[in-house]
């Protein structure tokens, strides 16, 4: 049984870019697949709002961290596939490091309680 | 390459915005289709296809919002907003055409006038000189010892020999050029008068100028005694006289009746350092005597030098002082103990006369003030408009528009206006530049105390890239200046008050209302206008004093023509008879009442001068004798120019070559040399014209201003052409009709009588007098124009403010009238508001004017900036204008019917 919508967690601010980039390291994907991938891997706990997904993808394109190309999807329809670039991989490293630092800090605080 | 990826993406979006939208659309449709499919299959038949689609759509959210977000991400959003604001602004302007046209016109005139003055300032003061690496060029001058307690000059010209000594000794300059401006009679097919330059072979290389056709002078062409006579010509002369024929090289033209072979044509626009030259010849060809060891004291040539790489201007200036002492030692002065030297400065520093520099900068300041006043006016207009849109703005704020967004929209409106104004200003600037560049410096400014190299003048003023850049910058700056304050003020969040009926203005305390932005702006306008009025008042008073000066002769109805006769063409002894016959023929022309010759026109900036000594007094040390101006005239000169004879007798035709030598002296000379006795009958020796032995003073005449209109007459001595014949003369004709109408006839008479003599420089004496005040008239006219514009703008500002406040206070006025206030009370109330503004503005303005007009001091003649008459007149003028400006709305207020106002 999948958790109902209300059980899903809102994404932590600023982590969406990181999640998308991480997803794209697997293989080039279209927007829907990216969202599905994140939800599935998080055990349906994280939900990706389309309202943030597409602007986030636009941002990645704008920074040069990803490129987009139209290609055929398994259903035969045209889909836009996003591919991570070398600088996107570098950026992913940066974001993971800083995210881990934040996580560590939060953990420290919470243990003190 | 992330940078390239990003750039490629962004360009793709910007270049194909339509495709970007379509792709976004397709991508979302794809997403929705997959989502719907997935939901349908997950529900195992409980969901219909259409329900699944609806659910997917619900889950997806607001597609429009997502699209907008994406557009914003790419930078397209910026253009979206800008386009929106632009369309809105244009719609608003179309609804208020009067406001729009008025604002654009104000801006066009304000920015256009600024651009025109700026382009003049740029051309005259800032644009690099049109030579190669002009910042490495220096002017080197001789330093004279000074006389009679006056300091010497530091930019005295050189003799060829001194320059040669300098050149041999120096190690700091790569090239040294000598040049001297020289009037010549040039004959291609017919004789014409041209300005030329006598130069050495290094002249063109030093400036970095190369002939576009032919070659520069060769060394042997500047080697005395008999070099090949060759000449370079300007592109203009080439086009004018040879139809730009490339076969011009090798052809011969006559310079002062001697044949010269054309060896080259110089680039277009190049007229030498004098700014006027059309022909160039070598020193050896035109001045062979300059190489004579006797001629070390024949000073004629300006020296321009190019610094060696690695040597700074300061180092060079210091070295030149040392070199000056060596030149002095090599050529000892005739009067021992009076040291000569040399000094150098960057050529760029000598480009224009300091007076012109200052008056241009002052004009730039004045016209900048006009633009500031225009800005203040527009800011006020925008404030008024914003307050009538207060509710619209409040509603927008209330339903969630960001303040930044609204400020941006209002700023777009002001920037659109200023951009339109900026575009229109190009036309105004073009016209202004046209007027400025039609000022011919040769005739207009040559009679002023002009320094400067002449290569820079008003004819070089033009519309160029820097002009456009200036206009664009001015438009942008004014748009922000008059848009930002109203935009910030209008969007000040005081929602509740603004949403209520009626204006928030009325509810504010009186003291605050008085300090409102609008009042401050109008007071500033009045103060600025007063500064401009005070400045232009001083300029006008200065001009009227100049025009009121008696130059010592009556210029009206006198025509002048210059005759040039080359030395040696006619024998010296035959000249008196020749002149007498010529004058007799001219006098016989109908309309001519009197005819005479003089050697130098009055107000020409300076004539011949020499030393005078007194035969009946003990001789003084050689070289320390007093200096007098010396002028050649024919006997009728006094009656032709209406110069009064004070005592003694005038010259007669009987004062001839070989007779008893006689001179006339001016009153100033008599006062100076014979303070308590009559000069008549005194024996003098004059250093020119063969009068070095003894000549007798036979008459004293009134003072004539030969130099400039505002310099006191010097002591002058007159010699008769008939007693000391010399070639070259200025014919003066007194006429009974318009003198200009006789020009052609007079020219014909002269040419018929002596066809080998070129006649040129034909002008009325009135025109020459007008030239003498041209620079002051030019400045005074522009200042008056700017001050008038400022006054009108300030009055419009007062009018706008007072009418706006009348409109706002209609209800209050209605109550006052209902409670028994008379119409006169209302009038007084409203006009009082305008008067109060004017008073505060005048006080601020007077203080500012006192400080600001000090910069005019060196530009004024016989008027001091602290002169009290000007401010009084100016304040009265301004007060009158404000009262008229507030009277109009006041009458409207007085007609307010209480019933209408209170309903």
Exposed/middle/buried for B130, CB within 10 Å: 0-12, 13-18, 19+? Answer: middle
**What pairs with residue B176 in β-bridges?**
B305
**Residue B497 has what pLDDT?**
55
Q: Which two tokens stand for residue B756?
A: 């080998």
Residue B442 has pLDDT above 50, yes or no: no
**Residue A3 has what pLDDT?**
41
| Residue in A46, A10, A50 with CA at minimum distance from that of residue B32 | A50
**Residue B444 has what pLDDT?**
47
**Percentage of the residues of chain B whose pLDDT score is greater than 90:** 28
Report whether B371 contacts B118 (CB < 8 A). no
Q: Chain A to chain B, count of Cβ pairs less than 8 Å apart?
A: 82
> What's the rounded mean pLDDT across residues B416-424?
91
| Each residue's pLDDT tens digit, B487-496 | 887 777 665 5
**Residue B853 has what pLDDT?**
83
Q: Which two tokens stand for residue B183?
A: 């009037």
**Interchain contact, B6 vs A63, CB within 8 Å:** yes
B230 or B52: which carries more pLDDT confidence? B230
CB-based contact, B835 to chain A, within 8 Å: no
Residue B587 has pLDDT above 90, yes or no: yes
> What's the rounded mean pLDDT across residues B211-229?
90
Q: Which of B30, B59, B66 sits opposite A79 (nearest CB)?
A: B30
**What pairs with residue B232 in β-bridges?**
B264, B280
Residue B718 has pLDDT above 50, yes or no: yes
- pTM for the model stands at 0.72
**Residue B446 has what pLDDT?**
46
> What's the rounded mean pLDDT across residues B540-557?
90
| Each residue's pLDDT tens digit, B248-280 | 999 999 888 789 999 999 999 888 888 888 999
CB-based contact, A49 to chain B, within 8 Å: yes
Nearest CA in chain B to A32: B31
| Each residue's pLDDT tens digit, B843-886 | 999 999 888 888 888 888 888 877 788 888 888 888 888 888 88
Alpha-helix residue ranges (DSSP H) falling in B438-516: 441-444, 465-490, 495-499, 510-514
Average pLDDT, chain B: 84
| Residue in B286, B308, B334, B320 with CA at minimum distance from that of residue B165 | B320
Q: Which of A49, A62, A73 sits opposite B6 (nearest CB)?
A: A62
At B500, the pLDDT band (50, 70, 90 cuts) reads: low
**Residue B648 has what pLDDT?**
93
B505 or B668: which carries more pLDDT confidence? B668
CA distance B402 to chain A (A): 21
Average pLDDT, chain A: 82
**Interchain contact, B9 vs A88, CB within 8 Å:** no
> What's the rounded mean pLDDT across residues B743-758?
85
Residue B502 has pLDDT above 60, yes or no: no
Residue B797 has pLDDT above 70, yes or no: yes
Residue B387 has pLDDT above 80, yes or no: no
Chain A residues within 8 A of B7 when measuring between CB atoms? 64
**Interchain contact, A32 vs B31, CB within 8 Å:** yes
**Residue B148 has what pLDDT?**
61
With left for phi above 0 and alpha for psi between -120 and 50, is residue B239 left, alpha or beta? alpha
At B147, the pLDDT band (50, 70, 90 cuts) reads: low
Chain B residues within 8 A of A70 when measuring between CB atoms? 23
Q: Both ends of chain B: CA-CA distance in Å?
A: 72
At B498, the pLDDT band (50, 70, 90 cuts) reads: low
CB-based contact, A64 to chain B, within 8 Å: yes
At B625, the pLDDT band (50, 70, 90 cuts) reads: confident
List C-alpha distances in Å: B271 to B357, B448, B460: 22, 21, 11
Q: B222-233 burial string, b = 16+ CB within 10 Å, else e? A: bebeebebbbbb
Residue B837 has pLDDT above 50, yes or no: yes
**Interchain contact, A55 vs B1, CB within 8 Å:** no
Nearest CA in chain B to A85: B2
DSSP state of B504: S
Q: Which of A77, A78, A85 sits opposite B5 (nearest CB)?
A: A85
**What pairs with residue B563 in β-bridges?**
B729, B759
**Residue B482 has what pLDDT?**
85
């Amino acid at each position: 049984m999948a958790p109902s919508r209300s059980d899903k967690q809102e994404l932590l601010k600023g982590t969406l870019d990181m999640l998308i980039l991480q997803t794209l390291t697997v293989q080039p994907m279209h927007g829907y697949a990216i969202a599905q991938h994140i939800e599935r891997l998080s055990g349906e706990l994280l939900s990706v709002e389309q309202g943030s997904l597409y602007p986030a993808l636009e941002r990645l394109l704008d920074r040069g961290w990803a490129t987009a190309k139209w290609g055929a999807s398994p259903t035969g329809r045209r889909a836009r596939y996003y591919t991570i670039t070398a600088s996107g991989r570098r950026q992913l490293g940066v974001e993971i490091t800083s995210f881990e630092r934040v996580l560590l800090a939060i953990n420290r605080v919470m243990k003190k309680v | 390459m992330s940078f390239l990826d990003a750039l490629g993406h962004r360009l793709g979006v910007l270049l194909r915005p339509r495709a970007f939208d379509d792709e976004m659309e397709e991508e979302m449709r794809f997403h929705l289709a997959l989502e719907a499919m997935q939901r349908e299959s997950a529900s195992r038949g409980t969901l219909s296809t259409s329900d699944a689609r609806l659910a997917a759509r619900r889950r997806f959210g607001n597609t429009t919002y997502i699209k907008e977000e994406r557009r914003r991400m790419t930078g397209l959003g910026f253009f979206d907003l800008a386009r929106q604001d632009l369309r809105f602004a244009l719609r608003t302007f179309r609804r208020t055409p009067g406001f729009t046209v008025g604002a654009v016109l104000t801006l066009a005139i304000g920015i256009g006038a600024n651009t025109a003055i700026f382009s003049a300032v740029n051309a005259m003061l800032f644009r690099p000189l049109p030579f190669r690496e002009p910042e490495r060029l220096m002017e080197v001058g001789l330093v004279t010892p000074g006389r009679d307690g006056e300091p010497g000059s530091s930019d005295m010209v050189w003799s060829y020999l001194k320059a040669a000594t300098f050149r041999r000794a120096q190690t700091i300059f790569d090239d040294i050029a000598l040049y001297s401006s020289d009037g010549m009679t040039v004959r291609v097919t017919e004789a014409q008068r041209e300005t030329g330059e006598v130069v050495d072979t290094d002249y063109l290389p030093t400036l970095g100028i190369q002939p576009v056709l032919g070659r520069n002078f060769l060394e042997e062409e500047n080697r005395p005694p008999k070099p090949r006579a060759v000449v370079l010509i300007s592109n203009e002369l080439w086009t004018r006289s040879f139809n730009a024929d490339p076969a011009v090289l090798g052809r011969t033209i006559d310079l002062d009746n001697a044949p010269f072979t054309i060896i080259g044509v110089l680039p277009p626009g190049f007229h030498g350092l004098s700014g006027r030259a059309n022909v160039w010849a070598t020193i050896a060809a035109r001045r062979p005597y300059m190489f004579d060891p006797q001629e070390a004291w024949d000073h004629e040539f300006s020296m321009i030098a190019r610094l060696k790489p690695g040597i700074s201007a300061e180092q060079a200036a210091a070295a030149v002082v040392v070199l000056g002492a060596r030149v002095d030692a090599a050529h000892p002065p005739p009067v021992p103990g009076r040291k000569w030297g040399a000094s150098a400065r960057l050529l760029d520093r000598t480009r224009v006369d300091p007076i012109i520099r200052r008056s241009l900068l002052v004009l730039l300041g004045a016209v900048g003030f006009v633009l500031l006043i225009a800005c203040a006016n527009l800011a006020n207009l925008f404030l008024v408009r914003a307050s009538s849109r207060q509710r619209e703005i409040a509603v927008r704020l209330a339903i969630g528009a960001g303040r930044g967004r609204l400020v941006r929209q209002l700023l777009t409106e002001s920037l659109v206006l200023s951009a339109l104004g900026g575009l229109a200003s190009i036309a105004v600037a073009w016209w202004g530049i046209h007027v400025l560049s039609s000022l011919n410096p040769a005739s207009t400014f040559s009679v002023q105390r002009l320094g400067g190299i002449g290569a820079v003048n008003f004819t070089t003023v033009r519309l160029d890239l820097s002009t456009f850049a200036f206009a664009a910058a001015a438009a942008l700056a004014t748009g922000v200046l008059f848009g930002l304050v109203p935009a910030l003020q209008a969007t000040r969040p005081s929602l509740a008050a603004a949403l209520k009926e009626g204006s928030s203005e009325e509810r504010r305390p009186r003291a605050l209302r008085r300090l409102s932005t609008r009042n401050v702006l109008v007071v500033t306008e009045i103060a600025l206008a007063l500064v401009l009025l005070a400045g232009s008042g001083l300029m006008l008073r200065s001009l009227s004093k100049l025009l009121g000066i008696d130059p010592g002769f009556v210029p009206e109805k006198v025509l002048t023509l210059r005759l040039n006769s080359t030395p040696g063409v006619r024998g010296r002894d035959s000249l008196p008879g020749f002149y007498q016959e010529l004058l007799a023929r001219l006098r016989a022309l109908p309309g001519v009442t009197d005819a005479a010759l003089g050697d130098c026109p009055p107000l020409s900036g300076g004539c011949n001068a020499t030393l005078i000594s007194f035969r009946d007094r003990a001789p003084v040390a050689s070289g320390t004798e007093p200096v007098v101006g010396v002028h050649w005239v024919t006997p009728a000169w006094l009656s032709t120019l209406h110069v009064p004879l004070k005592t003694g007798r005038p010259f007669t035709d009987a004062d001839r070559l070989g007779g008893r030598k006689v001179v006339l002296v001016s009153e100033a000379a008599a006062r100076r040399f014979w303070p308590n006795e009559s000069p008549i009958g005194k024996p003098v020796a004059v250093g020119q014209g063969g009068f070095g032995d003894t000549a007798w003073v036979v008459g004293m005449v009134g003072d004539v201003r030969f130099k400039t209109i505002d310099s006191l007459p010097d002591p002058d001595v007159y010699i008769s052409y008939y007693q000391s014949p010399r070639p070259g003369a200025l014919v003066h004709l007194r006429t009974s009709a318009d003198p200009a109408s006789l020009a052609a006839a007079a020219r014909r008479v002269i040419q018929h009588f002596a066809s080998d003599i070129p006649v040129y420089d034909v002008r009325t004496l009135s025109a020459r007098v007008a030239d003498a005040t041209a620079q002051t008239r030019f400045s005074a006219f522009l200042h008056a124009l700017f001050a008038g514009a400022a006054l009108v703008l300030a009055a419009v500002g007062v009018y706008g403010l007072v009418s706006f406040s009348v409109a706002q206070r209609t209800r209050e006025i209605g109550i006052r009238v209902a409670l028994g206030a008379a119409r006169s009370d209302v009038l007084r109330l409203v006009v009082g508001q305008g008067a109060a503004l004017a008073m505060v503005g005048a006080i601020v303005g007077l203080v500012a004017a006192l400080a600001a007009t000090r910069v005019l001091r060196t530009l004024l003649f016989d008027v001091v900036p602290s002169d009290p008459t000007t401010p009084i007149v100016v304040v009265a003028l301004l007060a009158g204008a404000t009262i008229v400006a507030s009277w109009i709305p006041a009458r409207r207020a007085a007609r307010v019917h209480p019933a209408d106002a209170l309903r």
